[in-house]
Structure 1
Amino acid sequence: MNRRLPVIAGLTLAGLLGLPAIAQAPVRFEAVEQAREALDAARQQQRNARARGERLEQRAARSREASEKARAEAAALAARVQQAEAGIAASEARLALADREKRMLDRKLARRRTPLVRLTAALQSMSSRPLALSALQPGSLRDLVYTRAVLDSTIPLVREKTSALRGDLERARALQAEARQALADRRESEEVLLRRRKELVALAEQERLRARQAAGGADREAQRALVLAEQAIDLDELVGRLEAAGSLRERLAMLPGPVPRPADPGAARVAVTPPSPEPSATEPPARYLLPVAGEITAGFGEASASGQRQAGIALAARPRAQVVAPGAGRVGFAGPYRGFGRIVIIEHANGWTTLVTGLEILDVAVGQNVTAGSPLGLAPTRRGEVTLELRQGGEPVNPLDHLR
């Protein structure tokens, strides 16, 4: 028997029990933590969209007015679309998390591989020589007794240490199963998303047609909005002009109607006093939400590269993500605007205005009434930013302060 065998066995066992075999780069945990945060965020978005969809479906079932029912149904379907999008994001985050955890586990197992290989080779060499032949070789019996003593004292420790290794191998198999399930869930969510998007496109088109039929002057108003967009120097001026037009429209609507002619010409005229308008309230929209699910890439008031302060927030949207109306109101502008893609301006009650930019496809028209969660359109095909601005009386305010 090889005289080096006891030495090899002893050193190999020592390495297995804790001595470093090969210098390894330190394991980084930042990527795993980022994947966990992305998974938590996607699951929260999924829960929020599901709850909003259920609430809107109940509202649509209770609605008696056809237009209100249609808006609630469209908003509910848009919420279901966002729920499916969040499901895809959650599956992708689960897949990334499983992949990164498996890579960390592979590094951990690689550090243990060298002492395990040495121990296996030593044990195989020992088992290949019969005990009777080892006893006939000079010095082999002493080496065998020494090796046996080493093994008897360390085998319990080997079992204890390798139990963690067995657990790591089980974890590796579980991570592979998790990755396969995440892929299956993503495919299912993609199929649901495709089906619900088709339903939403059809429903949004019906809503636009109903809005156009209900408002005979909608085309003229849309034309005026386009003229204002061409005349405005920048986006701030466009929003200001639309706010002024919306305020004028509200004041005209509050004017009293014509006084009816008395039936008896000789009857005394009764002076009709027009109702005094109540002071305008300043309450923000009762329900306000983000137009698209995504990470906030620029906060309110942050300085841009040009030094200009952000008048709103920017959200990183998934490709072709569903964009919804943040609050209830009336569409004052919907169309392309130079440098901002397709934009939507929504006039809320009490002098509040919302501006959403960065859309590629629009599902609303000027003059259309929307509710919180109504579909506005889709984000760009490539990953991009959708911006949200909320103004009160023309002054930008932080939209995050009014989410509810």
Structure 2
Amino acid sequence: MRLSPAFLVPFVVTVPATAQAPSPAERAEAERRERQRELDAIKNDLARANAERTRIETEIGTMRADRAALVRSGIEAAARVRELEGKVIESEARLAGLDGREAELRASLDERRDLIAQVLASLQRMGRRPPPAMLVGADDVLKTVRTAMLLGTLVPEMRDAVRVLARDLDDLSNVRRSIVAERDTLKRDMVSLDNERIRVEALAEARQKQLATSEQTLDAERQRASGLSRQADNLELLIGRMETEIAAARRAAEAARTSVVARGPAATDRRAQMAALQNAGRMNPAIPFAQTRGSLPMPVLGTRLREFGAQDGLGGTERGQSFSTRPGASVTAPADGWVVYSGPFRTYGQLLILNAGGGYHLVLAGMDRITVDLGQFVLAGEPVGVMGDAPPPAAAVTTGSSQPVLYVEFRKDGSNIDPAPWWAPRGPGAQTNERVRG
């Protein structure tokens, strides 16, 4: 019996040669080279980051005296960071799918390894030019005959198995190429993201340096605010005391109370509001907060963990919303407002409170760093903080998340309100917000 070359070739090309195991010395040398490569990569990343920061700081230095330019640049940089964070999330999700497909194909091939080995052994025995019977023993002849009889019944099934095997190997090759391309894309996006984060941080520093005429006075107020935060038992008491006892917060609260926002006939009012929104140098809200319902940008790219009014896991109900985020995610102001508290508070982690005017306060908690200061007026979309690498202890307990968690709370005249109706509807690409798990 003879088997066609078309049947033989797939088996021959799919069986890898057994590689010789490296010696201990070779393994040690390979590990040393790998460590050196990692060290060189870290050094290169640091050098690149320092060079990029120097370039950005030089660029920002030309606009340091221009508040509107700094604010506008900060908002644009934060938007680019948010866009790149979304691309990174999508790339990681695609990579996870590709890695899973590769694992499936490998497992499928591994399951057929014994079968392939058996068939190859049989084919070797059934070579196209078998040795003459007189040169082999009777047992060998019998084994060959029996193998021929067995293969005669199995050839059609083996041919089908070969086709499936070839298809799987082709799929595996395509998946590997896709993984390499996706990792290259992810690497480029991560470099761009790092550069934009450096820009956001430099802009935030420039904004803070621009703020206070007396840094010594502001330091004293920060210390006083820190003392109040230790004395206050809850957010309502903290807000009340900050806005009456801390000069910077008191001035911010007064500005929020007396701020004049366009309130004319509907058409005129709308045109004035749109013009105000384009003005990055504005010092009061472009739109009264009560009119922003359904239009506020989300402060972070993340997955909703807990909703307002849900059980909080401690016997009570949630007074706000919780979002899990990527480590190091950028946090932006959801609305125009004045900073009336900025710093740590009890189990909230780093806490930021904005007075949005009209009796509304916005609370953002759980950040690793806050990049705005007491009394500062911030615009919607302006960067205000950065998430850390893990959730605050309290958030880890109540949400069960191992990722950073941003807590958002809205208040009207001291009472909690549901933030959900205030967010702008999410576009087609916003579904990436629901899969931040890496």
Aligning the two structures, in what range does the TM-score lie when normalised by the shorter sequence? 0.5 to 0.7
What CA deviation, in whole Å up to 9, does each residue of 1:293-341 have, x standing for no partner? 2223333222233212111122223222211112222222212222222
Larger mean CA deviation between 287-296 and 86-95 belongs to: 86-95
Letter in 2 for 1:395: S
> Counterpart of 2:376?
368
- How far, CA to CA, are the matches of 1:322 and 1:282 in structure 2? 26
- How far, CA to CA, are the matches of 2:334 and 2:419 in structure 1? 10
> Counterpart of 2:306?
298
> Counterpart of 2:429?
none
Distance 1:76 1:252, change over 3 A: closer
> Counterpart of 1:395?
415
8 Å contact kept, 1:300–1:311? yes
8 Å contact kept, 1:315–1:387? yes
What CA deviation, in whole Å up to 9, does each residue of 1:15-41 have, x standing for no partner? xxxxxxxxxxxxxxxxxxxxxxxxxxx
Alignment of structure 1 residues 216-235 onto 2, 5 Å: 228-235=228-235
- Identical amino acids, percent of aligned pairs: 27
1:130 maps onto 2:150 in alignment: no
> Counterpart of 2:341?
333
> Counterpart of 2:326?
318
- How far, CA to CA, are the matches of 1:67 and 1:286 in structure 2? 29
> Counterpart of 1:76?
76
Letter in 2 for 1:318: R
What CA deviation, in whole Å up to 9, does each residue of 1:122-142 have, x standing for no partner? 2211228737539x9999999
- How far, CA to CA, are the matches of 1:89 and 1:347 in structure 2? 32
Q: What is the deviation of 1:211?
A: 3.6
Q: What is the deviation of 1:398?
A: 2.6
What CA deviation, in whole Å up to 9, does each residue of 1:43-97 have, x standing for no partner? xxxxxxxxxxxxxxxxxxxxxx954443232011012223333343334333333
1:120 maps onto 2:120 in alignment: yes
User: Where does the alignment leave 5 or more consecutive residues of structure 2 unmatched?
Assistant: 2-64, 245-249, 261-287, 391-402, 425-438
- How far, CA to CA, are the matches of 1:201 and 1:239 in structure 2? 27
Letter in 1 for 2:311: A
Distance 1:302 1:243, change over 3 A: farther
Distance 1:140 1:301, change over 3 A: same
> Counterpart of 2:98?
98
8 Å contact kept, 1:328–1:372? yes
- How far, CA to CA, are the matches of 1:137 and 1:321 in structure 2? 74
> Counterpart of 1:238?
238
Larger mean CA deviation between 160-169 and 72-81 belongs to: 160-169
8 Å contact kept, 1:314–1:388? yes
Larger mean CA deviation between 371-380 and 346-355 belongs to: 346-355
Letter in 2 for 1:291: P
8 Å contact kept, 1:285–1:327? no
8 Å contact kept, 1:316–1:385? yes
Distance 1:124 1:142, change over 3 A: closer
Choose which of 350, 361, 364 in structure 2 pairs with 1:342: 350
Alignment of structure 1 residues 129-168 onto 2, 5 Å: 130=130, 133=133, 155-168=155-168
What CA deviation, in whole Å up to 9, does each residue of 1:230-276 have, x standing for no partner? 5432123223556786665545567xxxxxxxxxxxxxxxxxxxxxx
Distance 1:351 1:218, change over 3 A: farther
Letter in 1 for 2:102: K
User: Where does the alignment leave 5 or more consecutive residues of structure 1 unmatched?
Assistant: 2-64, 255-279
Distance 1:121 1:148, change over 3 A: closer
- How far, CA to CA, are the matches of 2:138 and 2:224 in structure 1? 108
Letter in 2 for 1:70: L
What CA deviation, in whole Å up to 9, does each residue of 1:141-192 have, x standing for no partner? 9998997687567544433332222111122222323333333333323322
CA RMSD in angstroms, aligned pairs only: 4.0
8 Å contact kept, 2:70–2:207? yes
Q: What is the deviation of 1:356?
A: 0.5
> What SS does the corresponding residue of 1:364 show, helix, strand or coil?
coil
Choose which of 367, 374, 388 in structure 2 pairs with 1:359: 367
Larger mean CA deviation between 139-148 and 317-326 belongs to: 139-148
Q: What is the deviation of 1:376?
A: 0.8
- How far, CA to CA, are the matches of 1:157 and 1:361 in structure 2? 64
> What SS does the corresponding residue of 1:116 show, helix, strand or coil?
helix
What CA deviation, in whole Å up to 9, does each residue of 1:204-250 have, x standing for no partner? 12222334359xx9789767755653543212322355678666554
Q: What is the deviation of 1:193?
A: 2.3
Question: Which structure's CA Rg is the greater one?
Answer: 1
Q: What is the deviation of 1:291?
A: 2.0
8 Å contact kept, 2:323–2:407? yes
- How far, CA to CA, are the matches of 1:253 and 1:218 in structure 2? 23
Q: TM-score, normalised by structure 1?
A: 0.65
> What SS does the corresponding residue of 1:291 show, helix, strand or coil?
coil
> Counterpart of 1:61?
none
8 Å contact kept, 1:284–1:350? no
Letter in 1 for 2:99: D
8 Å contact kept, 2:122–2:147? no
8 Å contact kept, 2:294–2:421? no
